[in-house]
Amino acid sequence: MARHVHRVKVAALTEQMPVPEAELRHLHVMRLRPGDTVQVFDGGGEVGEAELLSLDTLSAQLRLLSRRTATAEYPQSVTLAVALLKGDKLADVVRAGSELGAAAFQLLRTRYGDVPDIGDNKLGRLRRVAEEAARQSQRAVVPAVLAPVPLTGYDPAGQVFYAHPGSPVRLLDVLTWAAPVTLISGPEGGFAPEDLAHLSAIGATPITLGPRILRAETAPLALLGALAASGV
């Protein structure tokens, strides 16, 4: 039977910890008993294991067994470079991408982009979306949202990948966590010839997302989802 890890939020990870009143009922409902182990977290990045010392109707005490600083970041920075999309699509990509661990979003101008540029208001809004998503996901890092640059001039350091139908290459087969990672995702209309020529010229690797046709806002999340599901 899979062991369920009970998580208890405490004010701070200390040798002896009182269980906050809000968490007491959970412990009772879960039928925890002195001697049981729970995971404790403070909401600020510290997590640990603790033993339940005592539990009665009005209070409970925990003893800290071990602690570590939780990091929800990938071993290397992962930048999502995404073409300018219309409407709320970029906000959706930034929100879910922030949950899925992107360290930065580089907006790209492409020939077939939905829109040729975005204004400061919209850029500011995307930055607020990233900040809020990072907060809700309890990430220590707030992803940057970088003003648009032309894809045909974009040459990031490290490993660069772009989703391309027909590519037989799988992201997890070629990605190493030894250098920063950039995932480039195109507009709804696809990459133009000059985009593809540039991607080849900078040595970007075309990778598969299978034979399915994905909307421009789905592809980047599928790529990040693959990273998340690899457990790093």
Cβ atoms of residues 182 and 149 within 8 Å = no
What is the smallest separation between the CB atom of 18 and a second copy, expressed in angstroms?
20
Query: Mapping DSSP to helix (H, G, I), strand (E, B) and coil, where does residue 107 land?
Result: strand
Site for a second copy in 189-218 (CB under 8 A): 193-194, 196-197, 199-201, 203-215, 218
Q: In this structure, what DSSP letter does residue 110 have?
A: -
DSSP letters spanning 55-92: E-SS-EEEEEEEEEE---S-SS-EEEEEE--STTHHHH
**CA–CA separation, 52 vs 61, rounded Å?**
6
Please name the amino acid found at residue 118: I
Which stretch in 13-21, 117-125, 143-151, 221-229 sits in contact with a second copy by CB under 8 A? 221-229
Comparing CB distances to a second copy, the nearer of 60 and 148 is 60
Q: Give me the least distance between CB of 88 and a second copy, in Å please.
A: 11
- Give 65 or 172: the residue with its C-beta nearer to a second copy: 172
Cα 135 to Cα 9, 121, 127, distances in angstroms? 16, 21, 12
Q: What's at 42, amino acid-wise?
A: D
Q: CB nearer to a second copy: give 70 or 144.
A: 70
d(CA 32, CA 47): 19
176 binds a second copy (CB under 8 A): no
End-to-end CA distance of the chain: 25
Question: Hey, how many other C-beta atoms are within 10 angstroms of the C-beta on 204?
Answer: 22
Contact flags string 34-63 toward a second copy, x per CB under 8 A: -----x------------------------
Count how many Cα atoms sit within 13 Å of the Cα of residue 128 in the half-sphere of its side chain. Answer: 6
Identify the residue among 4, 12, 33, 119 touching a second copy (CB under 8 A): 4
Our finding on whether 89 is near a second copy (CB under 8 A) is no
DSSP code at position 158: S
Q: Is the Cβ of residue 18 or residue 45 nearer to a second copy in the bound state?
A: 45
Nearer to a second copy, 6 or 125 (CB): 6
Does residue number 222 form part of the binding site for a second copy (CB under 8 A)? yes
- Interface with a second copy by CB under 8 A: which residues? 1-2, 4-5, 7, 26, 29-30, 39, 70-72, 96, 99-101, 136-139, 164-168, 170-172, 193-194, 196-197, 199-201, 203-215, 218, 221-232
